[in-house]
Structure 1
């Protein structure tokens, strides 16, 4: 039997000699000699803070009893002195246990010649249930003949010391719950036990970490319940630290322990897909079929099938066949011919649908702008124009304006591809005309002269401005402009072969009415200004000579005498009929 430090010991010095006739029976309580031993070599780490003294007197034919309380783990040992009347006292001890299950563990006693050594503890690590009460029956017997004895029953209550912290079983908890549980739903229940008694074993639970947003609360039965609606998409896992604290009377003596609680939220299909791509894009016209226009992307914060997204396009007569959409990858592709001049933009309705039960879906209106390609040339309609302008028109005077609806050139392309600029490509070598590049207005650049050139055949070119875009090839068209210059009376008649010289014989009159010579004047202007030239004799012998105003024929009116005057000089005038 192992020895320990708790001792109930009979002191030899406290034994009184026995008189003849057996032990002395008395009702008087005498104070025994009580001593204290502290055998450190047997002591456990928990040492005593006070000593409990128990004493009694052995009396004949009497079965005394006593009651005592001792705080667990408080004293290293206990000494009880027994008063006897014989020096050769033999001490016998008989033990009875209140809890038979702990008979071999709750109390151990060593009996020597003069001492009893018990080890009393309310809880031991080997006990399933703590022992709170001990009953000891102590018998003192002398060595006489016959032997006389006396017994004492000791009732010992072990007072609890708050020396045990609450213990969780198991050491950690984990549970899964659906994210849409209602407020007040129990998600997990923890349990802790305390081997102490009374308030020392009463446990209060609290959540000391991981519950910053107060989503959970813990009831005093250990059930953790929801205080708010949960959302897996915001937080999928909660790692809570739950503390169990006993309720010892002195708050500073309270003991606690913690346990890790993991709560996993299971997904429900509560989130609809959300598009993260822009709702507008562009595509160039005439691009090949199956060309990828854009990748449409939607996200679903759910998981598993609830977060798997399929894409589709709504049926629309305008867009049917023009575009196709990959159901899994969301790639928008060209499905047919795209011509901006026929349709400059499209509005597609894209649907993103998850595979939940029931599924959730989101629609997005996608605006697709068709980018222009320079696939159309400017067109003159009609392709031939005519104009008339007076030769005395001032410089800058407008001849023809091509921006009017009847004579302009149009290009149905867009932006620079459809912007038309004009130029005179031929028919005006002298650059008598200019054309405004942007408006197509034809203007007089120099003084015109009908007599120099009365008609122009200009070739006007209309081309787009695609060349301004990275030097791309331009497209063009041409038209013909016929410009007639109208004459004005700006030229006087001019005598041909001036000066004229004629000879006549003296003393005779020429035949044919005295005809001498015909003068002729030319007028560069057009009829009716130059078809009637009038002739007059401005200076000279008008009494001798006559001129036909219409024909310019000069006639001699009478015969001449050379010896009198051998030469005559006439000054003639030719005049047109213009104004």
Structure 2
């Protein structure tokens, strides 16, 4: 009898504690549950009947219902069990985009007793979003004389998930010219920077293709990528170059006026204005300037007037190629004039007898003749 009394006392005390706990929770709205986002409709959230100490039959009889402040009812009460369940899809990122802690509140109203119980549900994050870049492709322009160690800010990835499911790290793949540095922002965010690790050379590679990968801390991790195209801008680091230090051309003296005697193009590995080449005579005599003309755009040497071997058999010119940035190269041009048989022998009488005796001996000199041919070589030999 005493034992039964003690058991009854303990039950009364336990019931009293449960009632007091339920009353305290209701007063302070401390019925609190936690559920992951994106759970299917009807997923279990909490056992309201048990936690409030209300019999399931009493819930049905007393007109119990769940009321939320917003237009969307995210929770419902399953009357047969007294369980709080999800009534709609819950997207944490949509509901609490800028909040670290996402909480939904509702009220359990017991109309038969005119009581209201506050319920608070923490919505926990799941890794349902991958990091993403606002611009999946980015172009950077870097001049080739940029010093190694220079840094260039990159677009940050965004991940609406929270905690470990949010953005955790960056990784760069590409070539040896670039590396990645990640700086910590004032709010703890990560800011990727492209670092020039090796000097650029536009003539070696005008473009560099890189891939920036952002990863979160989920298991498995989710990733997002952005392509980075680096365009190397030209600097005037290359001078025009002639392929030879000296050029020689043999030209017949009867070549027509206006003919192109020689074309000497230089090359420049730069582009744009730095690679545009102009030609000029650096060194030329007054006489040669009246005979030869240089095309400043092509480097072609043309004949301004007729050549005459007998007047000049060789001409030495010095030619220069310069680019738009002031760099240049020089070369020598030797024009050798080839003789053409364009002169007839000329005969002149230097001395002659005005009369000769009829008995003059055979072999007597009658006159001294001079024969000249202005041509050279075989063309100038007379008989």
Same fold (TM over 0.5): yes
The aligned residue for residue 89 of structure 1 is 62
Indicate the RMSD between aligned Cα atoms, in angstroms: 4.0
Change (3 A) 1:192 1:272: same
The aligned residue for residue 361 of structure 2 is none
Partners of 2:159 and 2:256 in 1: how far apart? Answer: 79
Partners of 1:203 and 1:327 in 2: how far apart? Answer: 60
Deviation at 1:259, TM superposition (A): 1.4
Q: How do 1:448-459 residues align onto structure 2 when only pairs under 5 Å count?
A: none
Partners of 1:133 and 1:125 in 2: how far apart? Answer: 10
Partners of 1:84 and 1:157 in 2: how far apart? Answer: 23
Q: Among 242, 255, 260, which residue is 2:212 paired with?
A: 242
Deviations 1:312-334 (A, max 9, x none): 11233374434221112322012
1:348 partnered with 2:317:
yes
Q: Among 75, 95, 99, which residue is 1:109 paired with?
A: 75
Runs (5+) with no aligned partner, structure 2: 1-10, 183-190, 347-370
Partners of 1:139 and 1:372 in 2: how far apart? Answer: 119
The aligned residue for residue 273 of structure 1 is 240
Deviations 1:192-233 (A, max 9, x none): 01112223223322233xx33x12222222222322222223
1:161 partnered with 2:126:
yes
Deviations 1:337-359 (A, max 9, x none): 54556654443211111223xx2
Give the secondary-structure state (helix, strand or coil) at the position aligned to 1:275: coil
The aligned residue for residue 62 of structure 1 is 23
Deviations 1:131-172 (A, max 9, x none): 7332546546363xxx36473x54543333222110101232
Q: How do 1:169-184 residues align onto structure 2 when only pairs under 5 Å count?
A: 169-184=134-149
The aligned residue for residue 284 of structure 1 is 252
Q: How do 1:461-540 residues align onto structure 2 when only pairs under 5 Å count?
A: 464=378, 476-478=381-383
Give the secondary-structure state (helix, strand or coil) at the position aligned to 2:280: strand
1:321 partnered with 2:290:
yes
Deviations 1:66-88 (A, max 9, x none): 54443333565015251435642
Deviation at 1:123, TM superposition (A): 2.5
Alignment size in residue pairs: 326
Q: How do 1:302-313 residues align onto structure 2 when only pairs under 5 Å count?
A: 302-313=270-281
TM-score (norm 2): 0.69
Change (3 A) 1:283 1:111: same
Deviation at 1:336, TM superposition (A): 4.8
Deviations 1:376-420 (A, max 9, x none): 7899xxxxxxxxxxxxxxxxxxxxxxxxxxxxx999977xxx3xx
The aligned residue for residue 103 of structure 2 is 134
Deviations 1:409-464 (A, max 9, x none): 999977xxx3xxxxxxxxxxxxxxxxxxxxxxxxxxxxxxxxxxxxxxxxxxxxx3
Partners of 2:95 and 2:261 in 1: how far apart? Answer: 77
Give the secondary-structure state (helix, strand or coil) at the position aligned to 2:238: coil
Greater relative contact order, per chain length (Cα 8 Å cut-off, separation 6+): 2
Runs (5+) with no aligned partner, structure 1: 1-24, 31-55, 97-102, 380-408, 419-463, 465-473, 479-579
Deviations 1:222-265 (A, max 9, x none): 222322222223332333222212233x4xx1111111222223
The aligned residue for residue 228 of structure 2 is 261
TM-score (norm 1): 0.48
The aligned residue for residue 330 of structure 2 is 363
Q: Is the 8 A contact 1:341 1:413 kept in 2?
A: yes
The aligned residue for residue 155 of structure 2 is 190
The aligned residue for residue 28 of structure 1 is 14
Q: Is the 8 A contact 1:378 1:477 kept in 2?
A: yes
Larger radius of gyration: 1
Give the secondary-structure state (helix, strand or coil) at the position aligned to 2:165: helix
Give the secondary-structure state (helix, strand or coil) at the position aligned to 1:272: coil
Give the secondary-structure state (helix, strand or coil) at the position aligned to 1:297: coil
The aligned residue for residue 192 of structure 2 is 222
